[in-house]
């Protein structure tokens, strides 16, 4: 599967009747606007019945399950280059669009999600964000699984360098790392 670079797109303001066609539009439009495609990434290999290297715990209405990074990587992969904090060098991150990951997790109807990190940090992200922007659930940095030392196993990245509207503190705060849990 090819990895698509996230390019600057005009923010999408979703009208109610477009909500059903958004996944199709995303699948067709983003790869077409990509500056280039990359070689397919190697997939995570997890033991049967295990979370593998860095699964996310998905909780809804008191029921929890683990979605492995291998499961997330069955979705179309995208790439975003940037820094996630002032103390980091620009990095090429790869992963899946948050809206696709939420569909896989069964959270497509959520009005907002709560994300939790292994260090105790938690943040809420409203539906408008993943419907408007190509928010990335990054599972890799420079093509390799994100380690805990790199603030993994997963991270949320907003394409702040591509959209002036995203260059606000609220979006920086929503770019959570050490991501281990998703709740709605």
Confidence check: pLDDT of 141 > 90: yes
In this prediction, residue 53 carries a pLDDT of 53
Query: Could you tell me if residue 177 is inside a domain?
Result: yes
Query: Could you tell me if residue 112 is inside a domain?
Result: yes
67-79 average pLDDT score: 94
CA 158/CA 167 separation, integer angstroms? 9
Look at 2-11, 17-26, 68-77 and tell me which has the smallest mean pLDDT: 17-26
Nearest to 101 by CA among 134, 148, 147: 134
Scanning 55-144, the segments in alpha helix (DSSP H) are 69-72, 98-105, 127-132
Query: Greater confidence, 161 or 133?
Result: 133
CA 71/CA 91 separation, integer angstroms? 23
Query: Could you tell me if residue 122 is inside a domain?
Result: yes
Confidence check: pLDDT of 92 > 90: yes
Query: Could you tell me if residue 27 is inside a domain?
Result: yes
Read off the pLDDT of residues 8-67 as tens digits, 9 standing for 90 and up. 544 444 444 444 544 544 444 444 333 333 334 444 444 333 334 568 999 999 899 999
Q: The domain containing residue 174 runs over which residues?
A: 3-41+51-183
Task: Give the chain's domain count.
Answer: 1
Query: Could you tell me if residue 46 is inside a domain?
Result: no
Look at 36-45, 80-89, 91-100, 158-167 and tell me which has the smallest mean pLDDT: 36-45
Query: Could you tell me if residue 104 is inside a domain?
Result: yes
Q: Which two tokens stand for residue 150?
A: 């790199």
Confidence check: pLDDT of 131 > 90: yes
Read off the pLDDT of residues 146-183 as tens digits, 9 standing for 90 and up. 988 888 899 999 999 899 999 999 999 999 999 999 99
């Amino acid at each position: 599967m090819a990895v698509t670079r996230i390019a600057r797109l005009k923010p999408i303001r979703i009208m109610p009747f477009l909500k059903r066609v958004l996944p199709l539009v995303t699948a067709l439009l983003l790869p077409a606007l990509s500056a280039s495609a990359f070689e397919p990434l190697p997939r995570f290999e997890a033991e049967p019945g295990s979370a593998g290297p860095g699964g996310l715990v998905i909780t809804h209405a008191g029921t929890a399950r683990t979605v492995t990074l291998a499961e997330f990587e069955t979705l179309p992969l995208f790439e975003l280059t940037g820094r996630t904090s002032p103390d980091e060098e620009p990095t090429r991150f790869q992963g899946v669009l948050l809206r696709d990951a939420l569909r896989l997790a069964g959270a497509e109807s959520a009005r907002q999600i709560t994300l939790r990190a292994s260090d105790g940090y938690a943040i809420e992200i409203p539906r408008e964000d993943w419907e408007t922007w190509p928010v990335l659930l990054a599972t890799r940095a420079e093509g390799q699984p994100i380690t805990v030392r790199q603030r993994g196993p997963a991270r949320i990245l907003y394409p702040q360098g591509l959209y002036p509207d995203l260059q606000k503190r609220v979006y920086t705060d929503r770019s959570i790392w050490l991501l281990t849990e998703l709740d709605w």
